[in-house]
């Protein structure tokens, strides 16, 4: 009986022998391309990555103890390194430091546990319905009622209680799921709070209430590349829209242009 229950608790899907990519997603098909196979990295690339990690560790200090001091003294260095990419092994910690969620956690001891254990949410059934749809091909979230799905449920339920104005919105699971691959439940919860309610940076909760920012960025890309796009034959247009030049996606160029669009301009394009 116990063995049958254990089998029933597994989501239908690929066998355990199927290979995973480097972040834990089950490969749907074998590929001979560099992206489809895991190959050992050249020694010079490994050495470069190790040097990047050492720089980052020196910058943030043990457990993030030097972060705020370094950001105040060298903001341009921090900005440049972030845009080059945060080393994968440090992303969980750095995301918490950048967002200010680590401070929120320290200022609110026991709050997450209370939300998970003692509070109820009107969105619980909706969250349960969506759990199995969140990263279904990732090994961490595949087992029904397994560690991954339980953690994801706890984080989403806790946020829906913490911020009843927003509650639970379909799609939050993918953000929470990504965070859980890098940090604990409680850390992931406070990072979502920091993102949506604002801790260090402006709150992003409007992203769940309006698609305005998506249209702004899209219009900025089209305006920046307008002269080149209108010259292309239709057959080449789709490829170009999927491969914007680096200068068009430079945040220092793109974001000011996106924010320059007025609401009336955005509404007229919809």
| pLDDT tens digit sequence for 155-180 | 999 999 999 988 998 889 999 999 99
Computed over every residue of the chain, the mean pLDDT equals 82
Helices 75-84, 43-60: crossing angle, 10 deg rounding: 140
Nearest by Cα to 127 from 162, 184, 168? 168
22 compared with 111, residue with greater pLDDT: 111
Query: Which tops the pLDDT comparison, 262 or 1?
Result: 262
The predicted-structure confidence for 42-62, as pLDDT tens digits, reads as follows 776 788 889 999 999 999 999
Same domain, 183 and 81: no
On whether both 176 and 131 belong to a single domain, the answer is yes
Task: Indicate whether 25 belongs to any domain.
Answer: no
Based on the fold, state whether residues 77 and 93 are members of the same structural domain: no
Among residues 64, 85, 106, the one where a domain terminates is: 85
Total domains present in the chain: 3
Asked whether residue 146 falls in the same domain as residue 180, the answer is yes
pLDDT tens, 173-215? 999 999 999 999 999 999 999 998 876 665 555 554 445 677 7
Of 25, 57, 85, which residue is a domain's last?
85
Same domain, 47 and 123: no
**In a domain? residue 251:** yes
In a domain, 3, yes or no: no
**Percentage with pLDDT > 70 across the chain:** 79
What is the extent of the structural domain holding 171?
89-201
Indicate whether 108 and 191 sit together in one domain: yes
Indicate whether 190 and 139 sit together in one domain: yes
Nearest by Cα to 64 from 87, 88, 98: 98
Query: Residue 112 belongs to a domain with what CATH number?
Result: 1.10.8.270
Within a domain: residue 270?
no
Q: Which residues have a Cβ under 8 Å from the Cβ of 179 and sit 6 or more positions away? A: 92, 95, 155, 187, 188, 191, 192
What is the pTM (predicted TM-score) of this model?
0.68
Domain boundary residue, one of 201, 231, 246: 201
The strand pairing partners of 10, in sequence order, are 143
Mean pLDDT for the stretch of residues 86-114: 94
Residue 34 · residue 28 · CB < 8 Å:
no
Q: Among 109-113, 141-145, 258-262, name the one with the lowest average pLDDT.
A: 258-262
Q: Check whether 4 has a pLDDT greater than 70.
A: no
């Amino acid at each position: 009986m116990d063995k049958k229950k254990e089998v029933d608790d597994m989501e239908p899907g690929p066998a355990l022998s199927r290979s995973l990519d480097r972040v834990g997603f089950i490969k749907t098909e074998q590929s001979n391309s560099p992206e489809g196979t895991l190959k050992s990295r050249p020694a010079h690339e490994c050495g470069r990555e190790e040097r990047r990690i050492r720089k980052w560790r020196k910058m943030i200090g043990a457990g993030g103890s030097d972060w705020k001091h370094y950001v105040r003294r060298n903001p341009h260095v921090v900005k440049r390194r972030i845009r080059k990419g945060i080393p994968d092994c440090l992303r969980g910690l750095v995301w918490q430091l950048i967002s200010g969620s680590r401070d929120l956690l320290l200022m609110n001891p026991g709050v997450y546990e209370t939300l998970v254990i003692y509070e109820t949410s009107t969105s619980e059934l909706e969250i349960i319905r969506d759990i199995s749809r969140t990263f279904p091909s990732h090994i961490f979230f595949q087992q029904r009622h397994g560690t991954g799905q339980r953690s994801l449920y706890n984080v989403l339920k806790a946020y829906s209680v913490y911020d009843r104005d927003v509650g639970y919105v379909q799609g939050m699971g993918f953000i929470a799921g990504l965070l859980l691959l890098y940090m604990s439940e409680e850390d992931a919860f406070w990072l979502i709070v920091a993102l949506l309610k604002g801790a260090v940076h402006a709150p992003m909760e409007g992203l769940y209430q309006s698609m305005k920012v998506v249209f702004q960025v899209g219009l900025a890309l089209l305006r920046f590349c307008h002269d080149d796009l209108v010259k292309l034959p239709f057959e080449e247009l789709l490829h170009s829209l999927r491969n914007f030049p680096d200068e068009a996606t430079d945040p220092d160029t793109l974001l000011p242009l996106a924010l320059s669009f007025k609401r009336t301009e955005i509404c007229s394009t919809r």
